[in-house]
Amino acid sequence: MTAEKKNARLKIFNTMTRRKQLVVPIESGSVRMYCCGPTVYDYQHIGNMRTYVWQDVLRRTLEFDGYKVKHVRNITDVGHLTSQADSGQDKVEESAKKRHKTAWEISEMFMNIFFDDTETLNILPPHVSPRATQHIKEMLELIKKLEEKGYTYVIEKDGIYYDTSKFKHYGKLTGMSFDELNKYLKGGARVELVPGKKHITDFALWKFSPENVKRDMEWDSPYGKGFPGWHIECSAMSMKYLGESFDIHCGGVDHIPIHHTNEIAQSEGATGKRFAKYWVHGEFLEVDGKKMSKSLGNFYTVDDIIKKGYSWRELRYALMAAHYRSLLNFTFKALDAARGSIERIAEFIRNLSNITEEGPENKGIRKIVDSAFGRFVGAVNDDLNMPKALAELFGMISKINKEIEKGAVKKDDAKYIIDAVLVLDRILGLKLEEFAKQGVVPEEVMKLLEERRKAREERNFELADRIRKRIRDEYGFIIEDTKNGEVIKKA
Ligand code: AMP
Ligand code: ZN
Protein backbone atom coordinates (compact mmCIF):
# COMPACT_ATOMS: atom_id res chain seq x y z
CA MET A 1 0.00 0.00 0.00
CA THR A 2 1.41 3.40 -0.92
CA ALA A 3 1.72 6.08 1.75
CA GLU A 4 -0.80 8.15 -0.15
CA LYS A 5 -3.35 5.36 -0.03
CA LYS A 6 -2.66 4.69 3.64
CA ASN A 7 -3.33 8.33 4.53
CA ALA A 8 -6.46 8.57 2.41
CA ARG A 9 -9.65 8.77 4.46
CA LEU A 10 -12.47 9.87 2.21
CA LYS A 11 -14.55 7.34 0.36
CA ILE A 12 -16.82 8.72 -2.34
CA PHE A 13 -19.28 7.12 -4.76
CA ASN A 14 -17.69 7.26 -8.20
CA THR A 15 -20.33 7.31 -10.95
CA MET A 16 -17.72 5.95 -13.39
CA THR A 17 -17.01 2.76 -11.44
CA ARG A 18 -20.45 2.65 -9.80
CA ARG A 19 -19.01 2.04 -6.34
CA LYS A 20 -17.69 3.83 -3.30
CA GLN A 21 -13.96 4.34 -3.63
CA LEU A 22 -11.18 5.67 -1.49
CA VAL A 23 -10.07 9.04 -2.88
CA VAL A 24 -6.36 8.70 -3.65
CA PRO A 25 -5.26 11.90 -5.39
CA ILE A 26 -3.07 11.83 -8.48
CA GLU A 27 -0.59 14.19 -6.87
CA SER A 28 0.39 13.50 -3.29
CA GLY A 29 -1.20 15.87 -0.75
CA SER A 30 -3.35 17.87 -3.11
CA VAL A 31 -6.73 17.41 -4.75
CA ARG A 32 -7.84 19.11 -7.95
CA MET A 33 -11.61 19.39 -8.33
CA TYR A 34 -13.86 20.87 -11.00
CA CYS A 35 -17.54 21.64 -10.50
CA CYS A 36 -19.87 22.60 -13.31
CA GLY A 37 -21.13 26.06 -12.47
CA PRO A 38 -24.25 28.07 -13.18
CA THR A 39 -25.64 29.17 -16.51
CA VAL A 40 -26.03 32.86 -15.77
CA TYR A 41 -29.26 33.70 -17.60
CA ASP A 42 -31.52 33.87 -14.57
CA TYR A 43 -31.46 33.55 -10.77
CA GLN A 44 -30.04 30.29 -9.48
CA HIS A 45 -32.64 28.58 -7.30
CA ILE A 46 -32.15 26.74 -4.02
CA GLY A 47 -32.07 23.44 -5.99
CA ASN A 48 -28.91 24.65 -7.72
CA MET A 49 -27.70 25.79 -4.31
CA ARG A 50 -28.18 22.29 -2.90
CA THR A 51 -25.61 21.13 -5.45
CA TYR A 52 -23.09 23.86 -4.56
CA VAL A 53 -23.59 23.21 -0.83
CA TRP A 54 -22.70 19.49 -0.99
CA GLN A 55 -19.74 20.35 -3.23
CA ASP A 56 -18.67 22.82 -0.55
CA VAL A 57 -18.97 20.09 2.10
CA LEU A 58 -16.86 17.81 -0.12
CA ARG A 59 -14.17 20.46 -0.44
CA ARG A 60 -14.25 21.25 3.28
CA THR A 61 -13.96 17.53 4.13
CA LEU A 62 -10.90 17.18 1.88
CA GLU A 63 -9.34 20.23 3.50
CA PHE A 64 -10.22 18.88 6.94
CA ASP A 65 -8.42 15.67 5.98
CA GLY A 66 -5.32 17.74 5.28
CA TYR A 67 -5.34 18.11 1.50
CA LYS A 68 -4.57 21.27 -0.34
CA VAL A 69 -7.55 21.60 -2.63
CA LYS A 70 -7.66 23.48 -5.91
CA HIS A 71 -11.31 24.10 -6.67
CA VAL A 72 -12.49 25.41 -10.04
CA ARG A 73 -16.13 26.23 -10.78
CA ASN A 74 -16.97 27.76 -14.12
CA ILE A 75 -19.50 30.36 -15.20
CA THR A 76 -21.45 29.39 -18.30
CA ASP A 77 -22.21 32.72 -19.92
CA VAL A 78 -22.65 31.53 -23.50
CA GLY A 79 -23.59 28.42 -25.49
CA HIS A 80 -26.04 26.64 -23.16
CA LEU A 81 -29.04 26.09 -25.40
CA THR A 82 -32.65 25.68 -24.33
CA SER A 83 -32.73 22.29 -26.08
CA GLN A 84 -30.27 19.51 -25.33
CA ALA A 85 -30.36 18.76 -29.09
CA ASP A 86 -28.17 21.70 -30.17
CA SER A 87 -31.17 23.25 -31.85
CA GLY A 88 -32.79 25.65 -29.35
CA GLN A 89 -31.98 29.20 -28.38
CA ASP A 90 -28.94 30.30 -26.39
CA LYS A 91 -30.35 30.73 -22.87
CA VAL A 92 -28.39 33.92 -22.16
CA GLU A 93 -29.26 35.58 -25.49
CA GLU A 94 -32.92 34.63 -25.07
CA SER A 95 -33.08 36.01 -21.54
CA ALA A 96 -31.39 39.23 -22.70
CA LYS A 97 -34.04 39.78 -25.37
CA LYS A 98 -36.84 39.24 -22.87
CA ARG A 99 -35.30 41.71 -20.46
CA HIS A 100 -34.30 44.28 -23.10
CA LYS A 101 -30.64 44.06 -22.18
CA THR A 102 -27.56 42.72 -23.92
CA ALA A 103 -26.33 39.19 -23.29
CA TRP A 104 -23.23 40.74 -21.70
CA GLU A 105 -25.30 42.74 -19.23
CA ILE A 106 -27.53 39.79 -18.33
CA SER A 107 -24.68 37.38 -17.70
CA GLU A 108 -22.77 39.93 -15.63
CA MET A 109 -25.82 40.68 -13.52
CA PHE A 110 -26.80 37.06 -12.78
CA MET A 111 -23.19 36.05 -12.20
CA ASN A 112 -22.88 38.69 -9.49
CA ILE A 113 -26.16 37.64 -7.90
CA PHE A 114 -24.89 34.06 -7.91
CA PHE A 115 -21.65 35.11 -6.18
CA ASP A 116 -23.69 36.99 -3.56
CA ASP A 117 -25.93 33.97 -2.95
CA THR A 118 -23.02 31.57 -2.51
CA GLU A 119 -21.37 34.01 -0.12
CA THR A 120 -24.62 34.31 1.84
CA LEU A 121 -24.69 30.53 2.24
CA ASN A 122 -21.04 30.52 3.36
CA ILE A 123 -19.99 28.41 0.37
CA LEU A 124 -16.22 28.83 0.04
CA PRO A 125 -15.31 30.72 -3.14
CA PRO A 126 -13.53 28.51 -5.69
CA HIS A 127 -9.90 29.32 -6.43
CA VAL A 128 -10.80 30.02 -10.04
CA SER A 129 -14.22 30.95 -11.49
CA PRO A 130 -13.48 30.97 -15.23
CA ARG A 131 -16.04 32.44 -17.61
CA ALA A 132 -16.69 30.68 -20.90
CA THR A 133 -16.63 33.93 -22.89
CA GLN A 134 -13.05 34.53 -21.75
CA HIS A 135 -11.81 31.13 -22.97
CA ILE A 136 -12.87 31.02 -26.61
CA LYS A 137 -9.25 30.66 -27.73
CA GLU A 138 -8.73 27.54 -25.59
CA MET A 139 -11.98 26.05 -26.88
CA LEU A 140 -11.01 26.60 -30.52
CA GLU A 141 -7.62 24.98 -29.87
CA LEU A 142 -9.35 21.95 -28.43
CA ILE A 143 -11.75 21.74 -31.37
CA LYS A 144 -8.74 21.90 -33.71
CA LYS A 145 -7.14 18.94 -31.92
CA LEU A 146 -10.36 16.97 -32.27
CA GLU A 147 -10.56 17.91 -35.93
CA GLU A 148 -6.99 16.74 -36.52
CA LYS A 149 -7.78 13.43 -34.87
CA GLY A 150 -10.80 12.94 -37.11
CA TYR A 151 -13.57 13.29 -34.53
CA THR A 152 -15.43 16.17 -36.18
CA TYR A 153 -17.76 16.82 -39.10
CA VAL A 154 -19.55 19.89 -40.40
CA ILE A 155 -23.27 20.43 -40.76
CA GLU A 156 -23.71 23.23 -43.28
CA LYS A 157 -25.19 26.43 -41.84
CA ASP A 158 -25.31 24.77 -38.42
CA GLY A 159 -21.98 23.97 -36.84
CA ILE A 160 -19.02 21.69 -36.18
CA TYR A 161 -20.13 18.40 -34.65
CA TYR A 162 -18.47 15.61 -32.69
CA ASP A 163 -18.95 12.14 -34.17
CA THR A 164 -19.57 10.13 -31.01
CA SER A 165 -19.21 6.79 -32.81
CA LYS A 166 -15.50 7.55 -33.23
CA PHE A 167 -14.82 7.66 -29.47
CA LYS A 168 -14.16 4.13 -28.30
CA HIS A 169 -16.00 4.06 -25.00
CA TYR A 170 -18.55 6.76 -25.65
CA GLY A 171 -21.13 6.76 -22.84
CA LYS A 172 -19.01 4.82 -20.33
CA LEU A 173 -20.08 7.15 -17.52
CA THR A 174 -23.69 6.02 -17.95
CA GLY A 175 -22.85 2.32 -17.86
CA MET A 176 -24.65 1.97 -21.21
CA SER A 177 -23.19 0.86 -24.53
CA PHE A 178 -23.19 3.27 -27.47
CA ASP A 179 -26.34 1.66 -28.92
CA GLU A 180 -28.10 1.55 -25.57
CA LEU A 181 -27.40 5.21 -24.92
CA ASN A 182 -28.62 6.17 -28.39
CA LYS A 183 -31.82 4.21 -27.78
CA TYR A 184 -32.21 5.76 -24.32
CA LEU A 185 -31.92 9.31 -25.62
CA LYS A 186 -34.34 8.63 -28.48
CA GLY A 187 -36.78 6.70 -26.30
CA GLY A 188 -37.04 9.31 -23.60
CA ALA A 189 -37.28 12.04 -26.28
CA ARG A 190 -34.53 13.72 -24.27
CA VAL A 191 -32.87 14.71 -27.49
CA GLU A 192 -34.44 15.09 -30.91
CA LEU A 193 -32.39 14.44 -34.03
CA VAL A 194 -31.09 17.61 -35.64
CA PRO A 195 -31.01 17.30 -39.47
CA GLY A 196 -27.52 16.30 -40.54
CA LYS A 197 -26.51 14.69 -37.24
CA LYS A 198 -25.11 11.21 -37.81
CA HIS A 199 -26.13 9.90 -34.40
CA ILE A 200 -28.47 11.25 -31.79
CA THR A 201 -25.54 11.35 -29.34
CA ASP A 202 -23.44 13.62 -31.62
CA PHE A 203 -23.18 17.18 -30.34
CA ALA A 204 -22.09 20.65 -31.41
CA LEU A 205 -18.58 21.85 -30.61
CA TRP A 206 -19.07 25.14 -32.42
CA LYS A 207 -22.35 26.64 -33.62
CA PHE A 208 -22.45 29.09 -36.50
CA SER A 209 -24.30 32.33 -35.89
CA PRO A 210 -27.63 32.09 -37.70
CA GLU A 211 -27.79 33.98 -41.00
CA ASN A 212 -29.39 37.42 -40.76
CA VAL A 213 -29.17 37.37 -36.96
CA LYS A 214 -26.74 39.54 -35.06
CA ARG A 215 -25.91 37.82 -31.79
CA ASP A 216 -24.55 39.85 -28.86
CA MET A 217 -21.95 37.16 -28.27
CA GLU A 218 -20.18 35.75 -31.32
CA TRP A 219 -16.59 35.21 -32.38
CA ASP A 220 -14.66 34.67 -35.58
CA SER A 221 -13.19 31.21 -36.00
CA PRO A 222 -11.51 29.21 -38.78
CA TYR A 223 -14.90 27.56 -39.34
CA GLY A 224 -16.99 30.72 -39.48
CA LYS A 225 -18.50 33.23 -37.10
CA GLY A 226 -20.25 31.62 -34.18
CA PHE A 227 -20.12 30.53 -30.55
CA PRO A 228 -19.03 27.46 -28.60
CA GLY A 229 -21.13 24.49 -27.52
CA TRP A 230 -21.76 24.15 -23.79
CA HIS A 231 -19.75 20.94 -23.32
CA ILE A 232 -16.52 22.19 -24.92
CA GLU A 233 -16.44 25.03 -22.39
CA CYS A 234 -16.07 22.72 -19.41
CA SER A 235 -13.46 20.53 -21.15
CA ALA A 236 -11.35 23.54 -22.11
CA MET A 237 -11.61 25.41 -18.81
CA SER A 238 -11.13 22.41 -16.52
CA MET A 239 -8.01 21.26 -18.40
CA LYS A 240 -6.60 24.77 -18.54
CA TYR A 241 -6.69 25.23 -14.76
CA LEU A 242 -6.36 21.65 -13.51
CA GLY A 243 -4.37 19.86 -16.20
CA GLU A 244 -5.39 17.17 -18.70
CA SER A 245 -5.97 14.65 -15.88
CA PHE A 246 -7.34 15.71 -12.51
CA ASP A 247 -8.99 14.15 -9.48
CA ILE A 248 -12.65 15.02 -9.00
CA HIS A 249 -15.35 16.25 -11.35
CA CYS A 250 -18.74 17.16 -9.86
CA GLY A 251 -22.21 18.05 -10.99
CA GLY A 252 -25.89 17.22 -10.64
CA VAL A 253 -27.19 13.83 -11.83
CA ASP A 254 -28.70 15.51 -14.89
CA HIS A 255 -25.17 15.94 -16.23
CA ILE A 256 -24.38 12.21 -16.45
CA PRO A 257 -25.92 11.13 -19.78
CA ILE A 258 -25.10 14.17 -21.91
CA HIS A 259 -22.93 16.97 -20.53
CA HIS A 260 -20.34 14.92 -18.66
CA THR A 261 -20.46 12.08 -21.18
CA ASN A 262 -19.58 14.63 -23.86
CA GLU A 263 -16.89 16.31 -21.76
CA ILE A 264 -15.20 12.90 -21.45
CA ALA A 265 -15.46 12.26 -25.20
CA GLN A 266 -13.89 15.65 -25.98
CA SER A 267 -11.13 15.67 -23.36
CA GLU A 268 -10.08 12.04 -23.66
CA GLY A 269 -10.50 12.15 -27.45
CA ALA A 270 -8.10 15.09 -27.63
CA THR A 271 -5.50 14.01 -25.05
CA GLY A 272 -5.72 10.21 -25.04
CA LYS A 273 -5.52 10.41 -21.21
CA ARG A 274 -8.05 9.72 -18.49
CA PHE A 275 -9.86 13.02 -17.87
CA ALA A 276 -11.15 12.86 -14.25
CA LYS A 277 -10.49 10.06 -11.80
CA TYR A 278 -13.66 10.39 -9.65
CA TRP A 279 -17.05 11.52 -10.97
CA VAL A 280 -19.34 12.73 -8.21
CA HIS A 281 -23.03 13.47 -8.82
CA GLY A 282 -25.67 14.76 -6.46
CA GLU A 283 -29.43 14.27 -6.56
CA PHE A 284 -32.06 16.92 -7.10
CA LEU A 285 -34.02 19.10 -4.81
CA GLU A 286 -37.66 18.48 -5.67
CA VAL A 287 -40.99 20.13 -5.04
CA ASP A 288 -43.99 17.79 -4.83
CA GLY A 289 -42.15 15.03 -6.65
CA LYS A 290 -40.88 17.26 -9.47
CA LYS A 291 -37.37 18.63 -9.98
CA MET A 292 -37.11 22.23 -8.81
CA SER A 293 -36.43 24.06 -12.05
CA LYS A 294 -36.70 27.40 -13.75
CA SER A 295 -38.73 25.96 -16.61
CA LEU A 296 -41.39 24.49 -14.27
CA GLY A 297 -41.53 27.74 -12.31
CA ASN A 298 -41.60 25.81 -9.00
CA PHE A 299 -38.54 27.45 -7.53
CA TYR A 300 -37.37 29.69 -4.72
CA THR A 301 -34.21 31.78 -4.68
CA VAL A 302 -32.01 32.34 -1.64
CA ASP A 303 -33.49 35.80 -1.40
CA ASP A 304 -37.07 34.44 -1.39
CA ILE A 305 -36.23 32.23 1.58
CA ILE A 306 -34.52 35.02 3.52
CA LYS A 307 -37.46 37.34 2.85
CA LYS A 308 -39.74 34.74 4.38
CA GLY A 309 -37.80 35.17 7.61
CA TYR A 310 -35.43 32.21 7.54
CA SER A 311 -31.72 32.71 8.06
CA TRP A 312 -28.97 31.63 5.66
CA ARG A 313 -27.88 29.14 8.30
CA GLU A 314 -31.27 27.46 8.39
CA LEU A 315 -31.32 27.20 4.61
CA ARG A 316 -27.79 25.82 4.42
CA TYR A 317 -28.63 23.31 7.14
CA ALA A 318 -31.84 22.18 5.40
CA LEU A 319 -29.99 21.65 2.09
CA MET A 320 -27.06 19.90 3.73
CA ALA A 321 -28.81 17.60 6.21
CA ALA A 322 -29.96 15.01 3.64
CA HIS A 323 -27.53 12.65 1.93
CA TYR A 324 -26.31 14.25 -1.29
CA ARG A 325 -27.21 11.16 -3.32
CA SER A 326 -30.85 11.10 -2.11
CA LEU A 327 -33.68 13.10 -3.59
CA LEU A 328 -34.75 15.83 -1.20
CA ASN A 329 -38.25 17.24 -1.14
CA PHE A 330 -38.32 20.94 -0.34
CA THR A 331 -40.88 22.09 2.24
CA PHE A 332 -41.14 24.98 4.66
CA LYS A 333 -41.67 22.37 7.35
CA ALA A 334 -38.14 21.17 6.65
CA LEU A 335 -36.88 24.74 7.08
CA ASP A 336 -38.74 24.97 10.40
CA ALA A 337 -37.08 21.73 11.48
CA ALA A 338 -33.70 23.18 10.45
CA ARG A 339 -34.48 26.23 12.59
CA GLY A 340 -35.08 23.92 15.56
CA SER A 341 -31.81 22.07 14.97
CA ILE A 342 -29.79 25.26 14.69
CA GLU A 343 -31.38 26.68 17.81
CA ARG A 344 -30.50 23.49 19.67
CA ILE A 345 -26.85 23.78 18.67
CA ALA A 346 -26.82 27.52 19.43
CA GLU A 347 -28.31 27.06 22.87
CA PHE A 348 -25.83 24.31 23.61
CA ILE A 349 -22.88 26.51 22.71
CA ARG A 350 -24.27 29.53 24.54
CA ASN A 351 -24.86 27.49 27.69
CA LEU A 352 -21.36 26.09 27.57
CA SER A 353 -19.88 29.57 27.07
CA ASN A 354 -21.65 30.75 30.19
CA ILE A 355 -20.09 28.12 32.46
CA THR A 356 -17.62 29.93 34.69
CA GLU A 357 -17.20 27.48 37.53
CA GLU A 358 -13.68 26.06 37.72
CA GLY A 359 -13.11 22.38 38.40
CA PRO A 360 -10.99 19.35 37.55
CA GLU A 361 -11.11 17.82 34.08
CA ASN A 362 -13.96 15.31 33.72
CA LYS A 363 -12.64 12.27 31.82
CA GLY A 364 -16.10 10.85 31.18
CA ILE A 365 -17.19 14.01 29.43
CA ARG A 366 -14.08 14.16 27.27
CA LYS A 367 -14.67 10.54 26.26
CA ILE A 368 -18.23 11.35 25.14
CA VAL A 369 -16.87 14.24 23.05
CA ASP A 370 -13.93 12.35 21.55
CA SER A 371 -15.95 9.36 20.46
CA ALA A 372 -18.75 11.47 18.95
CA PHE A 373 -16.11 13.57 17.19
CA GLY A 374 -14.49 10.45 15.72
CA ARG A 375 -17.82 9.05 14.53
CA PHE A 376 -18.81 12.41 12.99
CA VAL A 377 -15.56 12.60 11.03
CA GLY A 378 -15.91 8.92 10.05
CA ALA A 379 -19.43 9.54 8.74
CA VAL A 380 -18.56 12.51 6.53
CA ASN A 381 -15.58 10.60 5.20
CA ASP A 382 -17.91 7.76 4.31
CA ASP A 383 -19.39 9.23 1.13
CA LEU A 384 -20.39 12.45 2.93
CA ASN A 385 -22.93 10.74 5.17
CA MET A 386 -24.30 13.94 6.65
CA PRO A 387 -27.46 12.45 8.23
CA LYS A 388 -25.26 10.11 10.28
CA ALA A 389 -22.75 12.84 11.12
CA LEU A 390 -25.48 15.18 12.37
CA ALA A 391 -27.08 12.36 14.37
CA GLU A 392 -23.72 11.88 16.11
CA LEU A 393 -23.53 15.59 16.89
CA PHE A 394 -27.04 15.67 18.38
CA GLY A 395 -26.41 12.46 20.28
CA MET A 396 -23.45 14.15 21.92
CA ILE A 397 -25.47 17.29 22.66
CA SER A 398 -28.14 15.23 24.48
CA LYS A 399 -25.58 13.41 26.57
CA ILE A 400 -23.65 16.55 27.49
CA ASN A 401 -26.84 18.51 28.25
CA LYS A 402 -27.63 15.93 30.93
CA GLU A 403 -24.18 16.46 32.41
CA ILE A 404 -24.66 20.24 32.32
CA GLU A 405 -27.95 19.87 34.20
CA LYS A 406 -26.16 17.80 36.84
CA GLY A 407 -23.56 20.56 37.15
CA ALA A 408 -20.85 18.11 36.10
CA VAL A 409 -19.42 20.30 33.31
CA LYS A 410 -16.83 22.83 34.48
CA LYS A 411 -15.18 25.70 32.65
CA ASP A 412 -12.27 23.78 31.08
CA ASP A 413 -14.52 20.92 29.95
CA ALA A 414 -16.94 23.45 28.46
CA LYS A 415 -14.13 25.01 26.47
CA TYR A 416 -12.98 21.56 25.33
CA ILE A 417 -16.51 20.75 24.06
CA ILE A 418 -16.95 24.09 22.29
CA ASP A 419 -13.55 23.75 20.62
CA ALA A 420 -14.47 20.28 19.35
CA VAL A 421 -17.77 21.53 17.89
CA LEU A 422 -16.02 24.47 16.25
CA VAL A 423 -13.49 22.10 14.65
CA LEU A 424 -16.38 20.06 13.22
CA ASP A 425 -17.87 23.31 11.96
CA ARG A 426 -14.96 23.56 9.54
CA ILE A 427 -16.89 20.85 7.67
CA LEU A 428 -20.41 22.13 8.40
CA GLY A 429 -19.68 25.75 7.52
CA LEU A 430 -22.36 27.12 9.88
CA LYS A 431 -20.22 29.86 11.50
CA LEU A 432 -21.01 28.41 14.94
CA GLU A 433 -18.31 30.56 16.55
CA GLU A 434 -20.85 33.40 16.45
CA PHE A 435 -22.90 31.55 19.10
CA ALA A 436 -19.86 31.10 21.30
CA LYS A 437 -19.36 34.87 21.24
CA GLN A 438 -23.00 35.40 22.16
CA GLY A 439 -22.58 33.12 25.15
CA VAL A 440 -20.78 35.67 27.24
CA VAL A 441 -23.69 38.07 26.94
CA PRO A 442 -25.28 38.52 30.37
CA GLU A 443 -28.78 37.28 31.03
CA GLU A 444 -30.10 40.88 31.49
CA VAL A 445 -28.87 41.82 28.03
CA MET A 446 -30.55 38.76 26.52
CA LYS A 447 -33.81 39.89 28.16
CA LEU A 448 -33.40 43.42 26.81
CA LEU A 449 -32.70 41.97 23.38
CA GLU A 450 -35.97 40.05 23.51
CA GLU A 451 -37.82 43.26 24.47
CA ARG A 452 -36.15 45.09 21.59
CA ARG A 453 -37.17 42.33 19.19
CA LYS A 454 -40.76 42.66 20.33
CA ALA A 455 -40.64 46.45 19.99
CA ARG A 456 -39.35 46.09 16.42
CA GLU A 457 -42.07 43.57 15.58
CA GLU A 458 -44.63 46.09 16.80
CA ARG A 459 -42.81 48.71 14.70
CA ASN A 460 -42.08 50.72 17.85
CA PHE A 461 -38.67 51.79 16.58
CA GLU A 462 -38.29 54.55 19.11
CA LEU A 463 -38.44 52.08 21.98
CA ALA A 464 -36.16 49.67 20.08
CA ASP A 465 -33.57 52.42 19.74
CA ARG A 466 -33.78 53.32 23.41
CA ILE A 467 -33.18 49.69 24.37
CA ARG A 468 -30.24 49.49 22.00
CA LYS A 469 -28.72 52.60 23.61
CA ARG A 470 -29.24 51.15 27.09
CA ILE A 471 -27.51 47.91 26.09
CA ARG A 472 -24.57 49.92 24.82
CA ASP A 473 -24.31 52.44 27.65
CA GLU A 474 -25.01 50.12 30.58
CA TYR A 475 -23.58 46.82 29.40
CA GLY A 476 -21.09 47.72 26.67
CA PHE A 477 -22.58 45.64 23.82
CA ILE A 478 -23.32 46.86 20.29
CA ILE A 479 -26.22 45.48 18.26
CA GLU A 480 -26.12 45.33 14.49
CA ASP A 481 -29.21 44.44 12.50
CA THR A 482 -28.34 42.27 9.51
CA LYS A 483 -30.59 40.50 7.04
CA ASN A 484 -30.01 37.34 9.08
CA GLY A 485 -31.10 38.86 12.36
CA GLU A 486 -29.25 40.86 14.96
CA VAL A 487 -25.59 40.38 15.76
CA ILE A 488 -24.36 41.36 19.20
CA LYS A 489 -20.75 42.31 19.88
CA LYS A 490 -18.65 43.71 22.71
CA ALA A 491 -18.26 47.48 22.21
P1 AMP B 1 -27.58 25.12 -14.46
O2 AMP B 1 -27.45 26.57 -14.07
O3 AMP B 1 -28.95 24.77 -14.93
O4 AMP B 1 -26.51 24.73 -15.45
O5 AMP B 1 -27.36 24.24 -13.15
C6 AMP B 1 -26.33 24.42 -12.25
C7 AMP B 1 -26.16 23.22 -11.34
O8 AMP B 1 -27.34 22.97 -10.56
C9 AMP B 1 -25.88 21.92 -12.09
O10 AMP B 1 -24.86 21.19 -11.41
C11 AMP B 1 -27.21 21.16 -12.02
O12 AMP B 1 -27.00 19.77 -12.07
C13 AMP B 1 -27.73 21.60 -10.67
N14 AMP B 1 -29.20 21.54 -10.53
C15 AMP B 1 -30.17 21.98 -11.38
N16 AMP B 1 -31.40 21.78 -10.87
C17 AMP B 1 -31.23 21.21 -9.65
C18 AMP B 1 -32.13 20.76 -8.60
N19 AMP B 1 -33.45 20.86 -8.71
N20 AMP B 1 -31.58 20.21 -7.50
C21 AMP B 1 -30.24 20.11 -7.37
N22 AMP B 1 -29.35 20.51 -8.30
C23 AMP B 1 -29.83 21.06 -9.43
ZN1 ZN C 1 -19.80 21.49 -17.13
CATH code assigned at 388: 1.20.120.640
Residue 490's pLDDT is: 66
pLDDT above 80 (res 424): yes
Mean pLDDT of 372-400: 98
Q: Give the pLDDT score at 484.
A: 55
Is the pLDDT at 324 greater than 90? The verdict is: yes
Average pLDDT in the chain: 93
Calpha distance 482→486 (Å, rounded): 6
Q: pLDDT-based confidence at 161, cuts 50/70/90?
A: very high
Decide whether any atom of ligand 1 lies within 6 Å of the 51 Cβ.
yes
* Tens-digit pLDDT profile for residues 176-217: 999 999 988 886 555 666 789 999 999 999 999 998 888 999
Looking at residue 459, its pLDDT comes to 92
Q: Which pLDDT belongs to residue 295?
A: 84
Does the residue 330 lie in any domain? no
Q: Give residues whose Cβ lies within 5 Å of ion ligand 2.
A: 36, 234
Residues 421, 447: one domain? no
Q: Report the domain count for the chain.
A: 3
Residue 439 has a pLDDT of 64
Say yes or no to pLDDT of 5 above 90: no
Of 394, 414, 432, which residue sits at a domain end?
432
Residues 458 and 357 in one domain: no
Which one of 291, 325, 346 terminates a domain? Answer: 291
Q: Where are the beta strands (DSSP E) in 253-363?
A: 276-282, 285-287, 290-291, 328-329
Edge-to-edge strand ranges of the sheet holding 159-162: 152-155, 159-162, 203-208, 226-228
Residue 232 vs residues 57, 81, 229, 261: alpha-carbon distances, Å: 27, 13, 6, 11
Ligand lying nearest the CA atom of residue 231? 2
Residue 319 has pLDDT above 90, yes or no: yes
Best CA proximity match to 228, nearest among 263, 255, 188: 263
Q: Which residues of 114-124 are buried (b: 16+ CB within 10 A; e: fewer)?
A: beebbebbebb
Q: Supply the range of the domain harboring residue 381.
A: 335-432
Report which protein residue has its CA nearest ligand 1's atom 8.
Answer: 48
What is the model's pLDDT at position 188?
Answer: 57
pLDDT of residue 8: 86
Is 318 inside a domain boundary?
no
| 61 assigned to some structural domain | yes
- Same domain, residue pair 262 and 394: no
> pTM of this prediction?
0.90
Range with lowest mean pLDDT among 260-274, 327-341, 350-364: 350-364
Q: At which of 432, 458, 482 does a domain end?
A: 432
Please report which helix (H) or strand (E) contains residue 310, including its range.
none
Question: Is 292 touching ligand 1 by the criterion CB < 6 Å?
Answer: yes
Verify that 177 and 33 share a domain, yes or no.
yes
Q: How far is the CA of 185 from the centre of ligand 2 (A)?
A: 19
- Least confident range from 64-73, 115-124, 453-462, 469-478: namely 469-478
Q: Residue 445 — very low, low, confident or very high, per pLDDT cuts 50/70/90?
A: confident
**150 and 225 co-located in one domain:** yes
Output the domain CATH number for residue 160. 3.40.50.620
Same domain, 374 and 488: no
Residue 24 lies in a domain: yes
Ligand 1, from 53, 129, 254, 296: best to mutate by most atoms within 8 Å of Cβ?
254
- How much distance in Å is there from the Cα of 375 to the middle of ligand 1? 31
Q: Does the CB atom of residue 84 touch ligand 1 within 6 A?
A: no
Q: Where are the beta strands (DSSP E) in 46-171?
A: 68-73, 152-155, 159-162
Query: Is residue 422 a part of any domain in this protein?
Result: yes
Question: Do 233 and 354 fall into the same domain?
Answer: no
Beta strands (DSSP E) in 159-275 are 159-162, 203-208, 226-228, 246-252
Do both 272 and 367 map to the same domain? no
| Residue 241 within a domain | yes
Q: How far is the CA of 157 from the centre of ligand 2 (A)?
A: 26
Alpha carbon distance 28, 365 (integer Å)? 37
Q: With CA atoms as reference, report the closest residue to 136 among 62, 55, 223, 200.
A: 223
For residues 470 and 383, state if they share a domain: no
